[in-house]
Structure 1
Amino acid sequence: MHKHAEEAINMMWQRYDEPLTMTDLAGAALLSKFHFTRVFRMETGTSPGRFLAAVRFYRAKHLLLRTSLSITDISYRVGYNSLGTFTGRFAKCVGLAPGQYRHLARTGIGMLSPPRRTDDPAQCGTVLGKLHNPWTDRRIRVYVAVFSSPILQGIPVACDVVENSDHYLLNSVPPGDWYVCAAAVEADNFDTAPWDRRPVFFGSSVPVSVRPGVSYKVDMTLHQTRPVDTPILVVIPELDSCRPPVEVTTVRQAQ
């Protein structure tokens, strides 16, 4: 990883509650703003502004689940001066409003359900492939999903939950340019707050241009999570209970 980009990311995690500017971040990286933006996008796959927003919402998720602070207080603590702006952007990125997300801690992960899709399967494509995971003696569960950006946020358009297998299948992916992302968690981690588990491995693809009636083979190599990986905003492992209807995706578990 480019050491200058890493310095900027460290600043984001340490000072996410401040009104950081591009000048601040480029200064931490000891680069001009133009060169910094180019290097940062090359290293992370996204812009500094979107990465910073992901850091802020990741911290907001933690505060919602681990503290009794009001949503207004949390919005200020993660760098937002407007509660309305914070609430709207949080809902767009995480897939739930802040209050709903906090309610998740009391009711469990089964509360999530995606909007029912009406896409005609004949007008969609299929994405499938093999997962190459680093060696581990732990049993893992891999969540593979399709998003509109390299940042895992919101409700995916299709997803698969794979265990005891190294192949995934995503049916009825709408036409368009999509990113296929994978996150692996320990399958035997019985945390009392499973929605707060951090992935041990992560991987993503280059953009895939999906066309109707076409299957795309996209193999992915997962790696141990790194500072350059953007924070995961979609609620994991709630994908177990928020996967789209059967006609939209196939969720398999190897026998």
Structure 2
Amino acid sequence: MPVAAEVAIERTINIMWNRHAEPLSLEELAEEAIFSKFYYSRVFRDITGTSPGRFLSAIRLFMAKRHLLETASSVTDISYRVGYNSLGTFTSRFTRSVGISPAKYRFLARCGMPQLTLPAACTDQKTSTVTGRIHIPETAGPVRVYVAAFNTPIVEGLPQSCDILEDSGPFHLTVPDGLWFVRAAAVAPHEDEDPGPKIRMPRLIGSGWPVKVRGGRVYTSDVQLRAVTPFDLPILLALPELDGPRAVDEDAPLAVAK
């Protein structure tokens, strides 16, 4: 992809972040990139892996999470503040993308109930294990890594299974038969003086190969983490903000699917 095209797309992504509350149209974004809207859409998808509309929606929902954690504004006010004209549309999109409703997200964060139960595997199916190693660059510094199995390539909602690591090492995910996408994100660990829920932008992200599992077998999919770029879609799942600072091997760890 030509450097000029990447510069143009990054410029419009910055506009999305800075003006996400406005009714930005595809035509306006394409004009900012000095492209036709058809060429802009194609180049945007080639660079980011998704459409301009989906990217803008992800930014709006990410900012909604921040408002829910950091302000006392009502869910209705927040929906308008991040660019939605309908509370119903905002609530349904937030729930689908984050995995829980805006009200429950705020409730769990404020009431000290960070533990989430992930979807259980179907009882009439054998479950398989997807395992592998998370590889973290030596220059990354301290991080907490969330690695999970999703049924789509997009990292959003509650995953089928999740594991949490404090460093490079092996992970284990338990999933039913199907096609699974292994995704990982690393964020800065909680600071002792500020243990409460807060938005933590990923420092590193990574993907394993898609894995089609069946019959209670063990499959492998290693993940190499890399630095986040402006072209990466914001991660919308409820973790890591609702995951407390406690270690995963304590008495009340983050629940994962079995």
Q: Provide the TM-score with structure 2 as the length reference.
A: 0.83
Q: Is 2:51 the partner of 1:51?
A: no
Q: Which residue of 2 aligns with 1:218?
A: 221
Q: Distance in 1 between matches of 2:7 and 2:207?
A: 22
Q: Which moved more, 1:223-232 or 1:134-143?
A: 134-143
Q: Is 2:117 the partner of 1:105?
A: no
The verdict on how the C-alpha distance between 1:137 and 1:56 changes in structure 2, with shifts beyond 3 A counting, is closer
Aligned length: 243
The verdict on how the C-alpha distance between 1:130 and 1:63 changes in structure 2, with shifts beyond 3 A counting, is same
Q: Tell me by how many angstroms 1:119 deviates.
A: 4.6
Choose which of 178, 201, 205 in structure 2 pairs with 1:202.
Answer: 205
Gaps of 5+ in 2: none
Q: What SS does the corresponding residue of 1:210 show, helix, strand or coil?
A: strand
Q: Is 2:46 the partner of 1:42?
A: yes
AA aligned opposite 1:171: T
Q: Is 2:27 the partner of 1:23?
A: yes
Q: Which residue of 2 aligns with 1:183?
A: 185
Contact 2:20 2:83 in 1 (8 A): yes
Q: Is 2:87 the partner of 1:75?
A: no
The verdict on how the C-alpha distance between 1:159 and 1:115 changes in structure 2, with shifts beyond 3 A counting, is closer
Q: Tell me by how many angstroms 1:96 deviates.
A: 1.4
Q: Which residue of 1 aligns with 2:173?
A: 170
Gaps of 5+ in 1: 248-255
AA aligned opposite 2:185: A
RMSD (Å) for aligned C-alpha atoms: 2.3
Q: Distance in 1 between matches of 2:231 and 2:172?
A: 27
Q: Which residue of 1 aligns with 2:65?
A: 61
Q: Tell me by how many angstroms 1:83 deviates.
A: 0.7
Q: Distance in 2 between matches of 1:37 and 1:174?
A: 35
Q: Is 2:246 the partner of 1:244?
A: no
Q: Tell me by how many angstroms 1:107 deviates.
A: 1.3
AA aligned opposite 1:63: H
Contact 2:84 2:90 in 1 (8 A): yes
Q: Which residue of 1 aligns with 2:122?
A: 118
Q: Tell me by how many angstroms 1:24 deviates.
A: 1.7
AA aligned opposite 1:184: A
Q: Which 4+ stretches in 1 moved above 6 angstroms?
A: none
Q: Tell me by how many angstroms 1:215 deviates.
A: 4.1
The verdict on how the C-alpha distance between 1:230 and 1:62 changes in structure 2, with shifts beyond 3 A counting, is same
Choose which of 12, 18, 26 in structure 2 pairs with 1:14.
Answer: 18
Choose which of 130, 145, 148 in structure 1 pairs with 2:148.
Answer: 145
Q: Which residue of 2 aligns with 1:5?
A: 9
Q: Which residue of 2 aligns with 1:154?
A: 157
Q: Tell me by how many angstroms 1:15 deviates.
A: 1.2
Q: Distance in 2 between matches of 1:55 and 1:82?
A: 17
Task: Decide which structure has greater helix share.
Answer: 1
The verdict on how the C-alpha distance between 1:111 and 1:221 changes in structure 2, with shifts beyond 3 A counting, is closer
Q: Which residue of 1 aligns with 2:232?
A: 229
